[in-house]
Structure 1
Amino acid sequence: MAATGTKSVLFVCLGNICRSPIAEAVFRKMATDGGIVDQWIIDSGATSDWNLGSLPDARGLACLRKHGIDTDHRARQVTKEDFMSFEHILCMDESNLSDLKRKSKSVKDYTAKIELLGSYDPQKQLIIQDPYYGPKVIGQLTQRLVHGVVWAVTSLYHYQLSR
């Protein structure tokens, strides 16, 4: 469980090597730059077990470095404990959302709010497509994630202030 006064967010995608580690790294950078990183538990995970222990995709890492963002994240799968440990679980697409909701049913009285990261997008582009098979898409994805995460950070921050 998160410490009192600590906020928490878990970003989730299918394999935890493209979308969710990028979102985690961007969120962490923004929280660091904003001087509030010590108030947050920030992580990412996968709905599948395909890439456990792997670094994020090299194309995503290159794009993050281009924006001055580093990460040492290793892919992991979402656990039952995550539904009790994190306040917010933000996923990338409807398949992730369905998998998370199915898994959450096995956790009694879970506390996490599970939603699409895209729900924070003012343009209402709810789905963040999986870029794994497209060479140009990861660069575009990073820009989209930056935009989505900015809204998520702002919304979550204001949500926490109002509580």
Structure 2
Amino acid sequence: MACEVKSVLFVCLGNICRSPIAEAVFRKLVTDQNAENKWMIDSAAVSDWNVGSSPDARALSCLRNHGIETTHKAQQITKDDFQTFDYILCMDESNLRDLKRKSSQIQNYKARIELLGSYDPQKQLIIEDPYYGNDEDFDTVYEQCLRSCKEFLAKPH
């Protein structure tokens, strides 16, 4: 019996800090479970500010410190994404509002739009933007993403 591929898109404001960290963390968890063929994984931004840019150097450094590499380039979410992805997981209420507003203009979209933090077993719902913070803030984002992604992956889809 063929396994249906599930898909998840991680979204934040600029797609250079939180969402590429979440994408890379989730990709590693899926790879570690030898389930790469069961998931389509990507990340995107609500804004178009950083399209084509690599993730923030601090995000890349944080991921490398945890043995994870990424070659992701920032991209903006498209209307097609709402129809392509099963899940769109975002980082804060502002992202959620923007995504719900964008989705309201699309007929019959299938994506479930949720906060990634809604899966956090420590109940830290919001994953704060570390852009104006320091390395510790990026580590906090990594830890929140790791906990939430593990929980999301463990649930039946």
The TM tier, using the shorter chain, reads: over 0.9
- Select between 94-103 and 60-69 the one with higher mean Cα deviation: 60-69
The TM-score, its normalising length taken from structure 2, stands at 0.95
Aligned to 2:22: 23
Q: CA deviation at 1:140?
A: 2.0
User: Unmatched 5+ residue regions in structure 1?
Assistant: none
Q: Secondary structure in 2 aligned to 1:81?
A: helix
The TM-score, its normalising length taken from structure 1, stands at 0.92
- Following the alignment from structure 2 to structure 1, what is the Cα–Cα distance between the partners of residues 139 and 58? 8
Deviations 1:91-129 (A, max 9, x none): 000000000000001110100000000110122211100
Deviations 1:56-87 (A, max 9, x none): 01111011111110100000000000000000
Say whether residues 1:118 and 2:117 are aligned partners.
yes
Aligned to 1:74: 73
User: 1:49 corresponds to which letter in structure 2?
Assistant: D
Q: Secondary structure in 1 aligned to 2:142?
A: helix
Say whether residues 1:47 and 2:46 are aligned partners.
yes
Quick one: structure 1 residues 102 and 140, their matched pair in 2 at CA, closer, same or farther if it must change by over 3 Å?
Answer: same
Aligned to 1:137: 137
Aligned to 2:146: 146
Q: CA deviation at 1:36?
A: 0.3
- Following the alignment from structure 1 to structure 2, what is the Cα–Cα distance between the partners of residues 152 and 57? 25
- Following the alignment from structure 1 to structure 2, what is the Cα–Cα distance between the partners of residues 4 and 103? 31
Q: CA deviation at 1:4?
A: 7.1
Aligned to 1:38: 37
Aligned to 1:59: 58
Q: Secondary structure in 1 aligned to 2:70?
A: coil
| C-alpha RMSD of the superposition | 1.3
Deviations 1:2-48 (A, max 9, x none): x9711000000000000000000000011011000111100000000
User: Unmatched 5+ residue regions in structure 2?
Assistant: none
Using the aligned pairs only, state the percent identity.
61
User: Contact 2:124–2:144 at 8 Å: present in 1 too?
Assistant: no
Aligned to 2:87: 88
